[in-house]
Amino acid sequence: MTETPPTQPPVQQPPPEQQPFVQQQPMPQKRAWYYSGFFVALSLLFFFPVGLTLMWKGNVWPMAVRVIVSIVFGLVVVSAIGDKQSGSTASAPRTAATTAAPAAAPAPVQRKAITESCYTVSKKFGPSSDLSDLQKDEAWKQYKGGQFKWKLKIVEVREATFSGYRVTYKCSPKSPSLISDLTLSYGENFKDAVIGLKKGGVYEIDGVLKSTGSLLGLSGDGLSDQ
């Protein structure tokens, strides 16, 4: 007789609740377009509060870069607040003579004239300067409050944070700064003149120097409507 091989018992599958759980790997999510470095850079340039928010929320750049960018724009805000306080000192427009008996005209303010070019002054106090901070502070006493008349190129024209207008200028294509060399504040009375300024245009500018910094460059008040 032929022996029948023993049959194998069927393999018992464990119930579903006892089967090992295999975790599914989540599909990588596509990064939102507004977290791209290019879009964040544009936001910082045209409306920096949104740009700063996107930069930090999206971890767009390394931490060191984000900290430096935040500090720079913080200094811009502080400078804008200072411009508001000085806006009331901007020169008033000329008024037409009246038929009434004229009062005694106040003596014109005598300001020291700056004879050096914008490029020379900007290089002296800019990021490529050979002077120490102490030497810059001492040398700046010769320029603070001085009146200049320079031929400059318009970089940007915009409204100030609180009132008036801010116009940034470039001294020369060879100037040490990457964006602008000089920022001037104008009062509301210069609205018509400021609106007529063209980006990239070259104008002969009258102004008074007020402050300087390695990051923000020269700053002051505009005196004429070009």
Residue 95, pLDDT score: 47
CA dihedral 93, 98, 101, 107 (to 10 degrees): 10
Per CATH, the number for 118-222 is: 2.40.50.140
**The pLDDT value given to residue 129:** 85
Q: Where are the beta strands (DSSP E) in 117-201?
A: 147-159, 165-170, 182-186
Backbone angles phi, psi at 136, to 5 degrees: -65, -45
pLDDT digits (tens, 9 = 90+) for 63-114: 887 888 888 877 887 777 776 666 555 544 454 444 555 565 555 567 889 9
- Name which residue leads in pLDDT, 162 or 99: 162
- Cα–Cα distance between 84 and 74 in angstroms, integer? 16
Q: Where in the chain is the domain with CATH 2.40.50.140?
A: 118-222
Instruction: Return the pLDDT at 81.
Output: 79
**Backbone φ, ψ for residue 186 (5° rounding):** -125, 145
Query: Does an H or E element contain 195, and which?
Result: helix 191-195
- How confident is the prediction for the chain on average, in pLDDT? 77
Check whether 28 has a pLDDT greater than 60: no
